[in-house]
Amino acid sequence: MSFRNTSESQKFSSDVIWVAISQVFILLTGLVTLPALTKSYSPETYGVWVQMLVTVGLLTPILTLQFATATVRFLAAGEGKEKRRHVFGTMLWPILAFVCLVFIVSLLLRQNLSIFLFASPRYISLVPLAFLWASTEALFSFSLSYLRARGKIKRLSVIQLALAIAKMAIIVSLVTTGHGLGWIVTFIIVGEALFIGTVFSMIIREIGFPKPAFEGLKHYLSFSIPQIPSGILLWIISASDRYFITHLLSLSHTGIYSASYTLGTLIALFYSPISFVLFPTVARLWEQKEPSRVRNYMEYSTKFFLTLAIPGTVGLYILSQPLLGILATTEYMAGGSLVLLVALGTILLGIYQMNVYIILLVQQTKWLPLMIGVAAVTNAGINLALIPKIGIMAAAISTIVSYFILATIVTVWARRTISYKVDLKFLSKVLGATLVMAFCLRFMPTASVYYVALAIIAGVAVFTLGLWLSKAFSTRDRRLIREVISGLNPRLWTPESPGQNPPTSNERDSAEQQGEDMGSEGNQ
């Protein structure tokens, strides 16, 4: 398969890089708004803000009826304009109806919801705003899912980053001028509405106005509805440990744990961009009846993620306490082991997030609530049993065990479905280079931000050198790395290049010996 200006693998790697850059800068905007809020508001007011964020995070996928995922699953194969307009309209109007219904309920029950969300009726005016904010987030997420399905990842990344910058500007400007949370949330809602209008205008120009339709709705609901309890259960796994620590220990322990948890989950930056681009890619290939190419992308995506995540986890473990000392105070230093366990759990979550796409491809989402429910019950049981005995380390243990259950189930399912393999020989070299890096980092000074930055740069250099000396990358791997680099600049692509697909681990050695072209379809 050839493309006009770029090979398929170049586009995939380029999209991953664009999403990664966007997410890093979005993270930086969060680092700007955090001190602006905490230094301007009381702990109670900031607690209300956090509770609104948590509520919006929980409600957003529910309000979309999980149709954002369905849009990617069923529109990634490149259907015609009429089919895309029909599918998009079939999903859009039920979302709008559901959003209106939930908002009306929030108005009617705002006093009870204020007590439930904020433990006080004093914040009754913020309840409808929180639900309206979740509604705009849901519509924005659904509209972006169309761009994701159509492979317009660069445009999507720019839009997400632009909205994050707009939110940062709203928060900082209103906080510094003494405005309350109500004004901040109101302006955020208005800003998101403008972005929603912009994205929807793009979609309408491409496919026309999406009219209400019911044909196929039952099929899309049967695919999406099981994912709603799944999303809630995943939210419970990731957030319930804070509630257990608060009630079984204290709020101080929750704060200490949250600091280490936030640091450990930075590993998500390594899998999130990959999985974001991976799903529409494999959905399109699956609809085109090319499971071998789905296997290729699964193999290389997993390999790339682990290549970054393994040394990243070890580096975080070694540098965690100096980083916490810089970002917070010595009171938050709970030991590197806590960060290590959380980071390992995040690796398992990344493996789950990528492999669960196979379950979505075969449309067996009815099993997701069951498997995630088992992990959630296990998580809660470990927290209840061990937190009173061993403290906050128990929460990290429960996290890693629950994600291990999920990662194991979906990986076995995926391997049986598409028969993809993990390159254990390559991973052993990654582990070897990581150990050398860890040994060197032990002797690096970390007394200030400057020294920590030098330690990170040195760690990356030692790890890269270790991979090079151990000849971890094959000829095909190095060729793909060059494509990743050139993917940032389309002018570096040659129009004559054939479409190239990530090779499977089994084919790497034979390809080197035979000098096969990376774009050969013979690897399938």
Same domain, 191 and 323: no
Return the closest-CA partner of residue 307 out of 276, 278, 274, 329.
274
63 in Cβ contact with 98 (< 8 Å): yes
Q: What is the pLDDT of residue 170?
A: 93
Q: What is the pLDDT of residue 3?
A: 35
Model pLDDT for residues 180-217, shown as the tens digit of each residue: 888 999 999 999 999 999 999 999 998 888 888 778 78
Domain range enclosing 61: 11-225
Same domain, 346 and 317: yes
Q: What count of other Cβ atoms lies within 10 Å of the Cβ of residue 173?
A: 13
Same domain, 440 and 407: no
259 in Cβ contact with 324 (< 8 Å): yes
Single-letter code of the amino acid located at 285: L
State the pLDDT confidence band at 328, using cuts at 50, 70 and 90. low
The answer on pLDDT for 505 being more than 70 is: no
Same domain, 265 and 315: yes
State the pLDDT confidence band at 264, using cuts at 50, 70 and 90. confident
69 in Cβ contact with 145 (< 8 Å): yes
Q: Is residue 501 part of a domain?
A: no
Out of 380, 398, 422, a domain closes at 422
State the pLDDT confidence band at 519, using cuts at 50, 70 and 90. very low
Tally the domains of the chain: 3
Q: What is the pLDDT of residue 104?
A: 92
Same domain, 232 and 323: yes
Out of 402, 422, 442, a domain closes at 422
Instruction: Tell me the pLDDT of the chain averaged across its residues.
Output: 80
Return the closest-CA partner of residue 222 out of 333, 103, 329, 367.
367
SS3 call for 68: helix
Same domain, 108 and 232: no
Same domain, 255 and 372: yes
Q: Is residue 183 part of a domain?
A: yes
Q: What is the pLDDT of residue 295?
A: 85
**Which residue stretches of 288-367 are H helix?**
291-327, 336-361
Same domain, 77 and 193: yes
Same domain, 166 and 204: yes
Return the closest-CA partner of residue 90 out of 73, 71, 62.
71
Residues 327-353 have a mean pLDDT of: 81
Give the Cα separation of 63 and 97 in Å (integer).
10
Q: Is residue 210 part of a domain?
A: yes
Q: Is residue 503 part of a domain?
A: no
Q: What's the residue count for the chain? A: 524
Per-position b or e across 119-141, b if 16+ CB within 10 A of its CB = eeeebeebbbbbbbbbbbbbbbb
- Answering whether pTM is above 0.75, one says no
Same domain, 167 and 56: yes
Q: Is residue 309 part of a domain?
A: yes
The answer on pLDDT for 246 being more than 80 is: no
Q: Is residue 6 part of a domain?
A: no
Take residue 486 and report the two structure tokens written for it: 């050139």
Q: What is the pLDDT of residue 402?
A: 92
Most confident range, picked from 441-450, 451-460, 505-514: 451-460
Model pLDDT for residues 91-124, shown as the tens digit of each residue: 889 999 999 999 999 899 888 888 877 767 888 8
Residue 89: C-alpha distances to residues 67, 83, 95, 203, 435 (Å)? 11, 10, 10, 11, 53
Give the CA angle between residues 38, 40, 45 to the nearest 5°.
Answer: 65
Same domain, 253 and 171: no
Same domain, 203 and 318: no
Single-letter code of the amino acid located at 86: H
Q: Which residues contact 227 (CB under 8 A, 6 or more apart)?
A: 61, 66, 69, 365, 368
Model pLDDT for residues 133-148, shown as the tens digit of each residue: 999 999 999 999 898 8
Out of 422, 449, 464, a domain closes at 422
SS3 call for 33: helix
Residues 396-405 have a mean pLDDT of: 91
Model pLDDT for residues 137-178, shown as the tens digit of each residue: 999 999 998 988 888 888 888 998 999 999 999 998 998 888
Q: Is residue 2 part of a domain?
A: no
Q: Is residue 516 part of a domain?
A: no
Q: What is the pLDDT of residue 287?
A: 81
The answer on pLDDT for 4 being more than 50 is: no
State the pLDDT confidence band at 484, using cuts at 50, 70 and 90. low
Residues 59-77 have a mean pLDDT of: 83
Model pLDDT for residues 297-313, shown as the tens digit of each residue: 888 888 888 988 999 99
Q: What is the pLDDT of residue 516?
A: 35
Model pLDDT for residues 271-286, shown as the tens digit of each residue: 888 888 888 888 888 8
Residues 377-396 have a mean pLDDT of: 88
- Give rounded-to-5 percent helix, strand, coil for the chain: 80, 0, 20
Return the closest-CA partner of residue 130 out of 51, 187, 63, 52.
52
